Amino acid sequence: MWSPNMVDPRDVVTPPPGDESTGAHPSETQPLRVELQHTRSGWPLSVKIRRVLWMPFKLLFLRGTGRVLSPLRIHALILFGAKIERPALVMDGVKVWHPWSLTLGRYCTLGRGVEVYNYAHITLGEQATVSQETYLCSASHDFEDPTMPLTFSPITIGAQSWVAAGCFIGPGITIGEGAVVGAYSVVTKDVPPWTIVAGNPARVLRERRLKSRMPSDAQSSSRDPR
C-alpha cells in the first residue's frame, strides 16, 4: 500500500564512484599524477643549433610576400637539407619546423599558411598540392606517460593528390596517390589511393575519376579552319 511518506525507487540517485562518505570523484581525492615538470627535450644539441640558425630565414615566408619569393624559399629549404625537385611552389605564410625533414616532388605546392610540423619526415609526391592553412602534424604526445613525451611518425602525401584548405593530417598518415581530402577534414587514418574523403574524422565518399584531356596541340588543330 502506498503512503505519502514512501520513497519512489526512481527518485533514488546513485552516488558517483569515489569516496562514499563524501561522494567525491576519484580525481578529487587523489593527487595528480601528470608530471610535466619532469618533461625533457629529446633533441640533440645539433638539432637545436640548426633550429636557431633557421630562424632568420623565416623572414622569407612572411605573409604578404606572395609567390614571388618562392624560389628563394625553396633555395633556403634546400640549404638546410630539404630535398626538393624543381619546379615547385612554396607560398607565403608557410611554416616549416625542420627543413631537413622535408621532401617535395616536382610540381608540388604548399599553399599559403600551411604548417609543416615535421618532427618526423614529411614527403609530398610529384604533382601533390596542400592548400592554404592546412596543418601537417607529424608529432603528438604519449598521454599515458606522466611526463607526456613527444612522439612522432612520418607523413606521406602521395603523388597527384590534393589536400584542400584547412585540413589536419595526423602523425603516421599516408594519403594515397591521387586522393582528395575535402576542406577542413581531420585525417586520422590512411586514405586509399584515388578516393575522395571528407569530414571529422574523414571518411571515404567515393572514387576519384579524372576526365580525359585532349593534348593542347590537338585542341588547337581542331579549331584551325585549315
- Are residues 169 and 153 in contact, defined by beta-carbon separation less than 8 angstroms? no
**Res 22: pLDDT:** 52
Which amino acid would we find at residue 128? A
Options 3.30.390.10, 2.160.10.10, 3.40.718.10, 2.30.110.10; CATH for 54-203 is 2.160.10.10
- Are residues 159 and 142 in contact, defined by beta-carbon separation less than 8 angstroms? no
Annotated domain spans of the chain = 54-203
Measured between alpha carbons, how far is 189 from 147 in angstroms, rounded to an integer?
26
Q: List, in sequence order, every residue forming a beta bridge with 202; answer none if it has no partner.
A: 199
pTM to 2 decimal places: 0.79
25-52 average pLDDT score: 77
DSSP assignment of 115-126 equals: EEE-SS-EEE-T
Q: What angle do CA 133, 139, 144 make, to 5 degrees?
A: 130
Residue pLDDT, tens place only, 43-80: 788 899 999 999 999 999 999 999 999 999 999 999 99
